[in-house]
Amino acid sequence: MPAGRFAPSPSGDLHVGNLRTALLAWLFARSTGREFLLRVEDLDRVRAGAEARQLADLAAIGIDWDPPVVRQSERGELYSAAVAALDTYECFCTRREILSAPSAPHAPDGAYPGTCRDLTEAQRAERRAARPAALRLRSTVSEFTVHDVLHGEYTGTVDDLVLRRNDGTWAYNLAVVVDDAAQAVDQVVRGDDLLSSAPRQAYLATLLGQRPPAYAHVPMVLGPTGARLAKRDGAVTLAQRGGPAAVVPELAASLGLMGDRPRDILAVFDPAALPRTPWTLPDL
Tell me: the pLDDT tens digits for 100-112? 766 544 456 678 9
Q: Which pLDDT value is given to residue 107? A: 57
Q: CA-CA distance, 102 to 94, in Å (whole number)?
A: 14
**For residue 190, is it within any domain?**
no
- Per the rule left: phi > 0, alpha: psi between -120 and 50, beta: everything else, 65 is beta
Residue 67: φ, ψ to 5°:
-70, 160
Arithmetic mean of pLDDT, 55-59: 98
Polymer length in residues for the chain: 284
Beta bridge partners of residue 145, listed in sequence order: 155
Statement: residue 37 has pLDDT above 90: yes
Q: Which pLDDT value is given to residue 102? A: 62
Q: Which residue has the higher pLDDT, 5 or 108?
A: 5
Residues 207, 94 share a domain: yes
**For residue 191, is it within any domain?**
no
Q: Which of 216, 265, 221 is nearest to 62 (CA)?
A: 265
**For residue 188, is it within any domain?**
no
Arithmetic mean of pLDDT, 165-189: 97
Ligand-binding annotation for 175, yes or no, is no
Residues 133, 33 share a domain: no
Residues 148, 24 share a domain: no
Q: Which of 81, 45, 34, 57 is nearest to 182 (CA)?
A: 81
Ligand-binding annotation for 5, yes or no, is yes
Q: Which pLDDT value is given to residue 234? A: 87
Q: Which pLDDT value is given to residue 104? A: 47
Residues 79, 116 share a domain: yes
Beta bridge partners of residue 152, listed in sequence order: 148
Residue 98 — pLDDT band, cuts 50, 70, 90?
confident
Indicate the number of domains in the chain.
2
- Is residue 124 within 8 Å of 136, Cβ to Cβ? no
**For residue 187, is it within any domain?**
no
Residues 240, 208 share a domain: no
Residues 61, 158 share a domain: no
Residues 174, 79 share a domain: yes
Q: Which pLDDT value is given to residue 26? A: 98
**For residue 192, is it within any domain?**
no
Task: State pLDDT tens for residues 65-76.
Answer: 999 999 999 999
Residue 32 CB neighbour total at 10 angstroms = 13
Q: Which pLDDT value is given to residue 97? A: 79
Residues 91, 56 share a domain: no
For residue 173, the surrounding DSSP H or E stretch is helix 172-182
Any idea what DSSP says for residue 15? B
Least confident of 95-109, 130-144, 218-232: 95-109
Statement: residue 30 has pLDDT above 60: yes
Domain that holds residue 169: 75-182+197-212
Ligand-binding annotation for 153, yes or no, is no
Statement: residue 248 has pLDDT above 90: yes
Ligand-binding annotation for 200, yes or no, is no
Residues 274, 145 share a domain: no
| 0.85 surpassed by pTM | yes
Ligand-binding annotation for 28, yes or no, is no
Ligand-binding annotation for 41, yes or no, is yes
State the maximum Cα–Cα separation within the chain, in Å, rounded to a whole number. 65
> Whole-number mean pLDDT of the chain?
94
Statement: residue 123 has pLDDT above 90: yes
**For residue 255, is it within any domain?**
yes
Residues 67, 82 share a domain: no
**For residue 90, is it within any domain?**
yes
Arithmetic mean of pLDDT, 144-164: 97
Ligand-binding annotation for 53, yes or no, is no
Statement: residue 194 has pLDDT above 60: yes
The pairing of beta strand 214-218 with beta strand 185-191: parallel
Statement: residue 218 has pLDDT above 70: yes
Ligand-binding annotation for 89, yes or no, is no
Sign of CA dihedral 283, 264, 2, 154: negative
CATH of residue 128's domain is: 3.40.50.620
Ligand-binding annotation for 190, yes or no, is yes
Task: State pLDDT tens for residues 196-215.
Answer: 999 999 999 999 999 999 99
Q: Which residue has the higher pLDDT, 233 or 37?
A: 37
Residue percentage of the chain with pLDDT more than 70: 96
Residues 93, 46 share a domain: no
**For residue 275, is it within any domain?**
yes
Q: Which residue has the higher pLDDT, 69 or 44?
A: 69
Residues 201, 138 share a domain: yes
- Is residue 81 within 8 Å of 258, Cβ to Cβ? no
Residue 45 — pLDDT band, cuts 50, 70, 90?
confident
- Is residue 21 within 8 Å of 186, Cβ to Cβ? no
